[in-house]
Each structure stands twice: as C-alpha cells, then as structure tokens.
C-alpha cells in the first residue's frame, strides 16, 4: 500500500485573451491582489488559432500569460478558476457589454505537466469541486513539453511552450530552494515593456 503524502505545491499561471490591451493590465493588478506578486509574464501574442472567441470578444484578439511567485496546493485550482470567472463578470459589468471583454484561463505548472481549469466536463477532465474540472493539457517528458490529442492548437505552439519552459525552470528552482533567475527572452513583473 502506498503512503499518503501531501501534494507537491504547483506554480499558478493565467492565460488572458482580449482585443483590449488595457484590460491585460487591469486584470494583472486584480490577479496580483488575489494570487500574490507576478514572477514572469509572456510577450503579447496575436491569437489567430480559431475564431471561436470572436462572437464574444471581437476581432484582433491577443494572448498573454502570467506566472505567479507563490506556489499553491494543486486542489486550490478550483478556487482560482472561480475567482477568474468572477473577475470576468466584473469586467463585463464595468464595460457594460453583452460580450466577454476578457477571457481568463487559469492553470498550474508542475514538474511533469501543465494543467488547465475548466467549467466543462469531458472524458479527459477530472472533477475538482465547485463546478470546476482539471485537464492535463501538456506533459513534460525527456526535457520537452508534449501535447495530447485534445490539446488546443495554440497550446502546441512554440511561443507558448517556450514560455512554459521558462516558467518550469523558475518553478524547479523554487522547489529546490534556489534563487530564481530571469530566463532570457522574457521579462519579469518589474519590466512592463513588450519587445
């Protein structure tokens, strides 16, 4: 019989989608209030993988990822998703729109995988609580992230995977108690410029 042990803490990430870049800054501030200081954020990527979000968000959508310093218990992902859903509703009310001005996709990175939260059940998702499911979106094997048949096309892209690798490098240093260093090509929370 295996011994029951507490889970290894994980690194929170949030993916943001919007055609209004000012909302990225506003959401970032609110997320830091809830999740603690940022450690890393990606460049802003044009989102051209699907037109699925155009009806709610509009055209010319962009994506940016945020990674947070504080590690969390994996089961806390449900609370993070509930918070991001609430935050989306607040932005919708503030902008007085019938659409969805920003989409916030939280997840976490562990040493062996990237997990995303969802409100939708399917065969590859596991129920957490509070109506939230978890999906293993990428696995980390032999030094590389690899997709599954269900992995969204944007999460297969080199740009995203390069960012997740940078987050994983910092995460592994945090786990081993070493000081984090900023991987080349990404900027930390203090650097607000976008290359």
Question: What phi, psi does 66 have (nearest 5°)?
Answer: -120, 145
Dist. CA 80–CA 64, nearest whole Å = 17
The whole-number pLDDT of residue 183 equals 46
CATH of region 10-175 = 3.30.70
Q: Where are the domains of the chain?
A: 10-175
CA distance 51 to 54: 5
Main-chain phi, psi angles of 83, to 5 degrees: -65, -45
H-run or E-run covering 162: helix 158-175
What's the start-to-end Cα distance of the chain, in Å? 52
Residue partners of 109: CB distance under 8 A and separation at least 6: 10, 11, 13, 67, 115, 164, 167, 168, 171
Number of Cβ within 10 Å of residue 151's Cβ equals 19
Give 18's strand partners.
62
What span, in angstroms and rounded, lies between the C-alpha atoms of 171 and 162?
14
SS3 124: coil
Structure pTM?
Answer: 0.88
- For residue 6, the model assigns a pLDDT of 85
Mind listing the pLDDT tens digit for each residue in 102-156? 999 999 999 999 999 999 999 999 999 999 999 999 999 999 999 999 999 999 9
Indicate if the pLDDT at residue 190 is higher than 80. no
Q: What is the distance between the alpha carbons of residues 191 and 157, in angstroms, rounded to a whole number?
A: 24
Segment 80-108, tens digit of pLDDT: 999 999 999 999 988 766 688 999 999 99
């Amino acid at each position: 019989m295996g011994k029951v042990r507490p889970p290894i803490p994980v690194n929170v990430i949030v993916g943001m989608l919007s055609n209004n870049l000012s909302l990225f800054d506003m959401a970032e501030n609110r997320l830091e209030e809830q999740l603690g200081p940022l450690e890393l954020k990606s460049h802003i990527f044009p989102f051209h993988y699907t037109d699925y979000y155009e009806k709610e968000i509009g055209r010319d959508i962009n994506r940016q990822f945020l990674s947070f310093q504080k590690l969390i218990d994996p089961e806390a992902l449900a609370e993070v998703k509930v918070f991001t859903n609430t935050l989306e509703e607040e932005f919708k009310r503030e902008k007085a729109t019938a659409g969805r001005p920003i989409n916030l996709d939280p997840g976490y990175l562990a040493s062996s995988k990237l997990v995303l939260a969802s409100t939708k059940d399917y065969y590859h998702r596991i129920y957490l609580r509070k109506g939230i499911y978890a999906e293993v979106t990428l696995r980390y094997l032999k030094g590389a992230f690899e997709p599954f048949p269900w992995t969204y096309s944007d999460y297969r892209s080199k740009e995203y995977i390069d960012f997740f690798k940078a987050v994983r490098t910092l995460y592994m240093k945090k786990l081993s108690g070493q000081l984090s260093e900023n991987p080349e090509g990404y900027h930390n929370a203090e650097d607000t410029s976008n290359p």
